[in-house]
Structure 1
């Protein structure tokens, strides 16, 4: 039973985690993607601070649902423990995120049921949805929407409750940069598994093998051209910007030292 007086009042999401989740959501407009959110929760104020994420490998691609296995949840918990030790502060899995390509940002009844399951284990667990590849009437642009929610029981059914979401602008952290950089590798692993991987070598029908291999190659080329290459260009631009800023600060420091 989900307690009515035990729910989140606010979620603080760092800008680098927001960028990582959105980048993941934009990698495909055909299926939903998902991941887990890591941070700390103020139990008294019921405020969640999300500062890291885990991009999950999908064993089964579906256009309208995602599933997080107990093994993935366990792995994410281990990663949270590592971050807690490294950052010297309490960290745990505090939520999950997934995408809604071409559909409304609001959670479906399946999403609400999934959220109920998580809240049974942790009343302050939260869900975030990124709605992508939506265009307003008469517009050709990609319209992105984000919602943060929990579930509560209304009569005999469960409903969604919107939670206030605040994006905190911070510089990108190394561990979140590593998560973003791992995205092409995870997507490539999904494609290899989807098209049979090493098992294709055992297919007797040469045309079937050639067909599967061709589609896998096309998918991998798409990942390189549409995900990996733009990602590298973006990170390179960030690096140049940071180096320029360092140079400017060194000049200011030198000037101040000279004046004093």
Structure 2
């Protein structure tokens, strides 16, 4: 009996606005990993995935070397995909996940590969993206933004990574992805408030409470100064460029009509 090869993903087409959102998310912290889910369409016959949106996940446990997706978050992302399917009038689903490696190489760890393998049990075309934005190359003494696209592959009873071809496709910033960027500071604030909150059954002396509140304040100020303000400046510049382009096109239209 001839063995039928396992189904695997051959190519991923990533919209440039989703790439921008993921990079923006990865740059928010160099101390912990961040994570989100990718939404798009999959051509089952060609085994090609088209990623057009993403969902930024709320981290209940912030760690420098691991992240996890809860079933509730996966369910919420699936609901978001269904809403997008109605808006865009085409089938949309959760097609993958992304996370960051702040100060290490972009290659997936054994934990990442095992996690990816678990997702592929539910969907063999599920894909993983890893962004490395703070890893310094000592040879050139500068930071480089790196990205890898992978799936898990089992060879001789051992799990390995299998790189998947990735194409970043130029696209305008869509409203649903703009909304994701705008909600990022709110998610970060919620994470900090929860991480510094005191449980009802937990006793804490006044000095420790003051110390905890001080750290929370510093973290919130950092979000405003290092995330929210630069993000607003970037969006204002995008708006200025768009308005300039509109005026340029209107002038060209008038010139063509007058000729």
Q: TM-score, normalised by structure 2?
A: 0.96
Which stretches in structure 2 are left out of the alignment for 5+ residues?
A: none
Which stretches in structure 1 are left out of the alignment for 5+ residues?
A: none
- SS across alignment from 2:120: helix
Instruction: Give the Å deviation of 1:17.
Output: 0.2
Instruction: Give the Å deviation of 1:131.
Output: 1.1
**Cα deviation 1:128-187 (Å, max 9, x = unaligned):** 000120111144432111000001111111110000000001111010011011111100
Instruction: Give the Å deviation of 1:201.
Output: 11
Report the Cα distance in structure 2 between the residues aligned to 1:257 and 1:140, rounded to whole angstroms.
Answer: 54
2:217 aligned with 1:209: no
- SS across alignment from 1:235: helix
| CA 1:72–1:206: 2 relative to 1, 3 Å | same
**Cα deviation 1:85-132 (Å, max 9, x = unaligned):** 000001000000000011011111100110011000000000000012
Q: Which residue of 2 aligns with 1:143?
A: 144
2:249 aligned with 1:246: no
Q: Verify the 8 A CA contact 1:203 1:209 in the aligned structure 2.
A: no
Q: Which residue of 1 aligns with 2:234?
A: 234
Q: Which residue of 1 aligns with 2:224?
A: 224
Report the Cα distance in structure 2 between the residues aligned to 1:214 and 1:182, rounded to whole angstroms.
Answer: 24
Q: Which residue of 2 aligns with 1:23?
A: 24
Report the Cα distance in structure 2 between the residues aligned to 1:202 and 1:66, rounded to whole angstroms.
Answer: 26
- SS across alignment from 2:133: strand
Q: Which residue of 1 aligns with 2:128?
A: 127
- SS across alignment from 1:101: coil
- SS across alignment from 1:98: strand
Q: Which residue of 1 aligns with 2:13?
A: 12
Report the Cα distance in structure 1 between the residues aligned to 2:122 and 2:76, rounded to whole angstroms.
Answer: 17
Instruction: Give the Å deviation of 1:253.
Output: 1.2
Instruction: Give the Å deviation of 1:220.
Output: 0.4
Report the Cα distance in structure 1 between the residues aligned to 2:249 and 2:150, rounded to whole angstroms.
Answer: 41
**Equivalent pairs, count:** 256
Report the Cα distance in structure 1 between the residues aligned to 2:32 and 2:5, rounded to whole angstroms.
Answer: 33
Report the Cα distance in structure 1 between the residues aligned to 2:83 and 2:238, rounded to whole angstroms.
Answer: 27
Q: Which residue of 2 aligns with 1:155?
A: 156
Q: Which residue of 2 aligns with 1:64?
A: 65
Q: Which residue of 2 aligns with 1:110?
A: 111
When structure 1 is superposed on structure 2, of 130-139 and 100-109 the one drifting more is 130-139
CA RMSD of aligned residues (A): 1.5
Q: TM-score, normalised by structure 1?
A: 0.95
Q: Verify the 8 A CA contact 1:4 1:152 in the aligned structure 2.
A: no
- SS across alignment from 1:133: coil
Instruction: Give the Å deviation of 1:5.
Output: 3.2
Instruction: Give the Å deviation of 1:234.
Output: 0.2
